Amino acid sequence: MANRKPPTETANVESHDPYKMRSLEQILALFDGGEFLTEIMDGHKKLQIDLLEHNDLHGSKKCQGSMTIKVDYALGKSGDVSMGAAVSFKSPQKPASSAAAYLNDNGELTLYSPFMARMHQPVRDVSDHDPETGEIRDID
């Protein structure tokens, strides 16, 4: 049998750490004794309600919002990690108010339609027409 050298590297066996953060929820629950996670969930619920209300009032056009979570990390000299977190919510924006009007000949706004002005002109006289059908005859 040949002489073999023992492996120089030993297998990394991960030891069980009961304090290891295993989910994002656990990490977010660290901030402010869990109050930050409650703030996130409350804000998320309010955003969903805002979306539903916007949809009821204005329809689905531009019915969108967002939630942004930012977590900052700073590594200390002894391996400690300082963390800071912030959350922001953006609800759907109410559409701009709208109105309609017309411009008159002087360039001023008016509610009087130019089509209505044409309708109020006197009826033109058509001398050559069929009295039974009202059909206008072409002049030859």
Model confidence pLDDT, tens digit, residues 71-111: 999 999 999 999 999 999 999 998 888 899 988 888 889 88
Give domain status of residue 11, yes or no.
no
Give domain status of residue 130, yes or no.
no
Provide CB contacts within 8 A for 81, sequence distance 6+. Answer: 73, 74, 75
Q: How confident is the model at residue 137 (pLDDT cuts 50, 70, 90)?
A: confident
Q: How confident is the model at residue 1 (pLDDT cuts 50, 70, 90)?
A: low
pTM for this model (two decimals): 0.60
- pLDDT, position 74: 96
Question: Tokens 């109050």 correspond to what residue?
Answer: 35
Cβ atoms of 40 and 69 within 8 Å: the answer is yes
Give domain status of residue 138, yes or no.
no
State the residue range of the domain holding 42.
Answer: 24-90
Cβ atoms of 31 and 37 within 8 Å: the answer is yes
Cβ atoms of 50 and 65 within 8 Å: the answer is yes
Q: Which amino acid appears at position 46 of this protein?
A: K
Task: Please determine, for residue 32, whether its predicted confidence score (pLDDT) is greater than 80.
Answer: yes
CA-to-CA distance for 32 and 86, rounded, in angstroms?
11
Mean pLDDT of the chain: 87
Burial class (CB in 10 A: 0-12, 13-18, 19+), 27: middle
Total domains in the chain come to 1
